[in-house]
Structure 1
Amino acid sequence: MRLKLSGGNGYNKVVSVDNDATLEKLLLASEAPTPVAGIRYGYPPQRVDNNQKTSQSKLDSLGISSGEKVTLIFQDEGNKSEAVTERAPSSQSSSEQLPPNKCKISLPTGEETYLHVRQIPDDNSCLFHSLSYCVYKDISLSPTLRTVCSEHIRNDKVLYSDAVLDRPNEEYAQWILRKDSWGGGIEIAILSKNFGVAVYVLDMDAQKFEKFNEDQFNQFVIIMFNGVHYDSLELVNQRTVFDRRDEIFSEAVLEAALEIAKQLKRSGHSFNTRRDRIICNTCKTILVGERDVARHAESTGHVDFGQAKN
């Protein structure tokens, strides 16, 4: 399995371990610069301490699967992390501390729920995965969504001209079928109409929504883009489709989504690919612009990117 690791002091690494690997083997593969007190993973984050007993636990028994993002808790920050991650939502008060990828929604009726980020695998198909999850709760349908886009583009050579696509129509229609090709606004607009729901793309860096087909559909889904990756947003009951006719609730959801984007940006999770230099953490190549990043990912298969230091 392939895992994306991160930690304090700018630590980032992508590792490959056997499917039956233990926590101990993962930490050995991580080549962490300092002793590791434990790990965090999943949404909402759960913590596993690194001790003699847990070190022999297999990763799959802990609920860790390929594509997972795992945060290493170094010993000097272990106590600090524990204070945040071990609180249960059911016991949190109005002043509760939540992870940056989660936000409470309080309604005038007194009801409360939580909106959080649904982590989507980093494998160059994250746009299709995020939409597939929002609509079907199944990311395995992403190849089918690519086919929908390809056929739609091929069948409308006027709307999707060579100039619009920046390459010949037929070439683009074939290209988007590849699992390593990044989708974007063209594909979002097509799939929105195919689903019959609007798609609200929350730009984490810009802190604003780009709404696709909101004038055509009352129902909408929300996906978040950090500059190089898409994730889905959902309620804790896994609800992902909302209705703008329910004005109070839909506005509360959108406000919560913006708050999550704000907290994640503050935590350093956003990338401005139009302005900032991006580094491929796998091969250390410096990239500028979303297109540059996308082409690098397609040509190399690398999916782990970060903000390049000046």
Structure 2
Amino acid sequence: MDGTVVRRVIPSDNSCLFNAVGYVMDHNKNKAPELRQVIAATVASDPVKYNEAFLGKPNQEYCAWILDSEKWGGAIELAILADYYGREIAAYDIQTTRCDLYGQDKKYSERVMLIYDGLHYDALAMSPVEEAPEEFDQTIFLVQRDRTIGPIEGLALNLVKDQQRFHPADKETSILGRKRSYTDTANFTLRCGVCQIGVIGQKEAVEHAQATGHVNFQEYK
């Protein structure tokens, strides 16, 4: 097997999940509006399955919510997109090195890979060499009889573990684009670079950003 698994950075614009999926599925980092429409249509078409208990909000309200370009996607959206494309989506969590596999129950024959740092999704790809241009990326992998994608899984996990290593000197962070490889989303402390207000955890950071439009934060202890 020649090549290496690389992390392809997706723009930090609240639609990183959708654009990361767009890249690994279609080599297109601008699929968010289209994929949000796909998800809304899927959810609206089956209000029994996608009920308020499942979605955390009424079906109609969720559909309007997910079409808002400021809203973030997560597990529900990844599961729907795995079925839409007919491929498994493996999402690697840097903080825990856990891999969440969407579409696994359907036994799809192909898989794509994402990497998640607590707030942001990027794409994973197989490249001939680390510095090769993105047009040489392979992002779709055959699922073998043992339901793995072979040695590529080991390469992906090694990259995730490498990303987990944190250099203490690198403290600058932003909820929309951090230098840091992962974020402890429940307990990290941030100070707004605009108004200097302190927040704790992802929830407070997102609420502050949505209320003020401020998205530049520095981590502090």
Please, what TM-score do these two structures have when normalized by structure 1? 0.58
**1:281-296 to 2 correspondence within 5 Å?**
281=193, 283-296=195-208
1:258 is aligned, of 157, 160, 163, to: 157
2:109 is aligned, of 218, 239, 254, to: 218
Aligned to 1:276: 188
Are 1:166 and 2:65 counterparts? no
- Report deviation, 1:286: 4.0
2:141 is aligned, of 219, 242, 248, to: 242
1: CA distance, partners of 2:211 / 2:66:
14
Aligned to 2:8: 118
Aligned to 2:119: 228
Contact 2:144 2:150 in 1 (8 A): no
**1:3-18 to 2 correspondence within 5 Å?**
none
Are 1:149 and 2:39 counterparts? yes
Q: How many residues align?
A: 199
Distance 1:172 1:205, change over 3 A: same
1: CA distance, partners of 2:147 / 2:141:
11
- Report deviation, 1:121: 0.2
| AA in 2 matched with 1:206 | T
| AA in 1 matched with 2:9 | Q
Percentage of identical aligned residues: 30
- Report deviation, 1:252: 1.8
Please, what TM-score do these two structures have when normalized by structure 2? 0.80
Aligned to 2:169: none
2: CA distance, partners of 1:255 / 1:305:
34
Greater C-alpha radius of gyration = 1
SS at match of 1:201: strand
- Report deviation, 1:285: 4.5
Contact 1:208 1:258 in 2 (8 A): no
SS at match of 1:134: helix
SS at match of 2:123: strand
- Report deviation, 1:272: 1.8
| AA in 2 matched with 1:220 | R
Q: Which moved more, 1:249-258 or 1:170-179?
A: 249-258
Structure in which a larger fraction of residues adopt strand: 1
CA RMSD of aligned residues (A): 2.4
Contact 1:182 1:294 in 2 (8 A): no
SS at match of 2:76: helix
2: CA distance, partners of 1:248 / 1:191:
19
User: Highest relative contact order (Cα 8 Å, sep 6+), 1 or 2?
Assistant: 2
- Report deviation, 1:255: 1.4
2: CA distance, partners of 1:162 / 1:241:
34
Q: Which moved more, 1:123-132 or 1:274-283?
A: 274-283
